[in-house]
Structure 1
């Protein structure tokens, strides 16, 4: 799949389903992530981060670069770009945002907007070791194949909720990060 094929599938007129998120009792804290898609000559690959193990929240987990909206952020798209630059050194002018997925509410009280951004490869990533231990890439075609997705149902706070998993070599992509990928995959059915 190349960028043109991706855009044709992503920007279509039919309604796509979304995975259930966590039903917050009140408005969540606004946050944003970037789904960075690297354009190689022969394929598209997605960059993931492994959060630094010493972090108080979600240490060692796999995520997309992103975080909560700061007062200085003019928009959630700016939040995603700022956090991407801070965490893995990709400058905002290197990212072409082509859209976003629906807001996804998390059990930790955030309302996360995932933005989709294309980046020309190869790419020099500069990891901020205070936030990220490492990065890795996964072929987009692997991620969009729902045969590679697994769902486990859990009961949390008297609510039955799905937890999604995608295994890539030694990396277990799960939770909201996997849900973002699942929501993206619905555009490609």
Structure 2
């Protein structure tokens, strides 16, 4: 598949869809009324010899939220951010040194609710020029890429479960090599894969 064909598929995947939540597999664990904080992540794809690659990070182990997990560049929306798109681009610039001017934003997807109390809006984008990733000290331990074909294949997603604080919790995973991609990141990628179609 050419880069142009991949971008066309990504562009067709933007827009509103069914909402998703970390509690979708564990509805009995969903808390009562709570106020979700707005956040945004950049689901960015960059040209690669094998086609298009998704840019992901491994979060620093000392972070308060999701330490050590695989994640998209992103974070909470600050009062100075114009909107969720601006927040995602700002966070990507801070976390992986991706110049916001180098990203073609294709659009947004439906927000995803996390167990940590965020409503996360995924922003789909394409990096239109080469850049040298630089991990933000204290925030990001590693930056790596995953082939588009891997995350576009719904057969690569499956459900696992573990006991946490005496309760069995189910969650979505989409492993890639040594990287264990799970939780909210896997959910948003699964939603994207569904919207990409066959």
Q: Normalising by structure 1, what TM-score?
A: 0.87
Structure 1 residue 42: Cα displacement: 4.4
On the 8 A contact 2:20/2:113 being kept in 1, the answer is no
Query: How many angstroms apart in 2 are the aligned matches of 1:86 and 1:135?
Result: 13
Unaligned runs of 5+ in 2: 24-29
C-alpha distance in structure 2 between counterparts of 1:73 and 1:17, whole Å: 26
Distance 1:114 1:90, change over 3 A: same
One of 151, 160, 182 as aligned partner of 1:152: 160
Q: Does the 8 Å CA contact 2:13/2:196 hold for their aligned counterparts?
A: no
Number of the residue aligned with 1:184: 192
Name the CA distance, whole Å, in 2 between partners of 1:153 and 1:16.
26
1:73 aligns with 2:77: no
Which residue of 2 is the match for residue 127 of structure 1? 135
Matched, 1:175 2:179: no
Pick aligned residue for 2:70 from 62, 75, 87: 62
Whether the 8 Å CA contact 2:104–2:128 is kept in 1: the answer is: no
Paired residue for 2:121?
113
Structure 1 gap segments, 5+ residues each: none
What is the RMSD of the two structures over their aligned residues, measured on CA atoms?
Answer: 2.7
Q: 1:140 to 1:59 in 2, by over 3 A?
A: same
Give the TM-score, by structure 2 length.
0.83
Matching residue within 122, 136, 144 for 2:144: 136
Q: Is the 2:21–2:114 Cα contact (8 Å) retained in structure 1? A: no
SS where residue 40 of structure 2 aligns? Answer: strand
Post-superposition Cα deviations, 1:86-125, rounded to whole Å, max 9, x if no partner, equal: 1000011011110111110111110000001100353211
In 2, distance between residues paired with 1:167 and 1:108?
22
Q: 3-state DSSP class of the match of 1:127?
A: coil
Q: Residues 100 and 72 (structure 1 numbering): CA distance in 2 closer, same or farther, change over 3 Å?
A: same
